[in-house]
Amino acid sequence: MPVTRGFFGKRRDAGERADRLPPGQYDTGQGWPTLTAEVTPHLVPEQWTMTVDGHVETPTTWSWREIHALPASSYVGDIHCVTTWSKFDTTFAGVSVDTLLEAAGPRPEAAYVMAHSTTGYTTNLPLADVTGGKAWVVWEYDGRPLPVEHGGPVRLLVPHLYFWKSAKWVTRLELMVKDRPGFWEQNGYHDRGDPWLEQRYQGDP
């Protein structure tokens, strides 16, 4: 591809963190941009529940109180949005998706997950991308309750994939045998969304 006349790039100052920036991304610094396609819902935590079902041995639902009684787990690290910002050194806390799956018991044929939000938003993920300490259901950001515009009171967190996979206002993980596209995936975005491979849109490698 040809060079853009007169362009040299401003954001080369990532310094020692440059190797933490996937291709085509920039460091958003202290800001946290938001991307939402629907009206932001205002959930009452006491009325929210989290369910794991589909191809599992024991479909299981947790209340807000019950999920808080599970072993706590946190993530400290970077997040990457398909709209090209990355945010370094975030801290989220909640529960590991492994803990939820352990209770529900995925059947051997389960290979994919559809995350469902209270708004009707969905996103699909390979099961392998939400197991092995790679995914969380979180309600705290930076030691405080997760703000509503960032998915509060509770969202999925899959930080090694583009952030649309980290469904805001998550309420259900449905285990599936076959993959099927979620909301953005039906609207032109990639089924897996690995930022290091720049899997932004359908048709990317």
Partner 1 sequence: MTDTAPAGAWTTGRLIQVDRPSDRLVRLRFHVEDRVDHWPGQHYVLRLRAPDGYTAQRSYSIASDPHDPLLELMIECLPDGEVSGFMHDVAEVGDEFELRGPIGGWFTWTGEQPALVVVGGSGVVPAVSMARYAKRLGLTDRLRVVAVARTYDELPYAAELERYGAFLALTRENVGARVAHPPYPDELVPLAEGVERAYVCGSVGFASFATRLLGEVGVRSDTIRVEQFGATS
d(CA 117, CA 74): 21
CB 146 within 8 A of CB 158: no
Q: Which stretch binds partner 1 (CB under 8 A): 60-68, 99-107, 153-161, 197-205?
A: 197-205
d(CA 125, CA 189): 13
Token pair of 100 as six digits:
């939820």
Q: Which stretch binds partner 1 (CB under 8 A): 60-68, 129-137, 145-153, 167-175?
A: 145-153
Token pair of 193 as six digits:
């969304």
Which helix (H) or strand (E) element contains residue 145?
strand 144-145
Contact between 197 and partner 1 by CB under 8 A: the answer reads: no
Contact between 9 and partner 1 by CB under 8 A: the answer reads: yes
CB 137 within 8 A of CB 70: no
Contact between 64 and partner 1 by CB under 8 A: the answer reads: no
Contact between 44 and partner 1 by CB under 8 A: the answer reads: no
Q: Which of 15, 19, 30, 46 binds partner 1 (CB under 8 A)?
A: 30
d(CA 80, CA 89): 11
Residue 106 or 182: which CB sits closer to partner 1? 182
Report, in Å, the least distance between residue 143 CB and partner 1.
17
Contact between 16 and partner 1 by CB under 8 A: the answer reads: no
Q: Which of 17, 68, 89, 120 binds partner 1 (CB under 8 A)?
A: 120
CB 168 within 8 A of CB 155: yes
Q: What is the dihedral of CA 83, 87, 91, 93, to 10 degrees?
A: 0
Binding-site size for partner 1 (CB under 8 A) equals 42
Q: Who's near 5: CB < 8 A, 6+ residues apart?
A: none
Contact between 196 and partner 1 by CB under 8 A: the answer reads: no
Report, in Å, the least distance between residue 190 CB and partner 1.
12
Q: Please give the residue ranges that form the binding site for partner 1 (CB under 8 A).
A: 1-12, 23-24, 26, 28, 30-41, 83-84, 120, 147, 149-150, 183-184, 186-188, 201-203
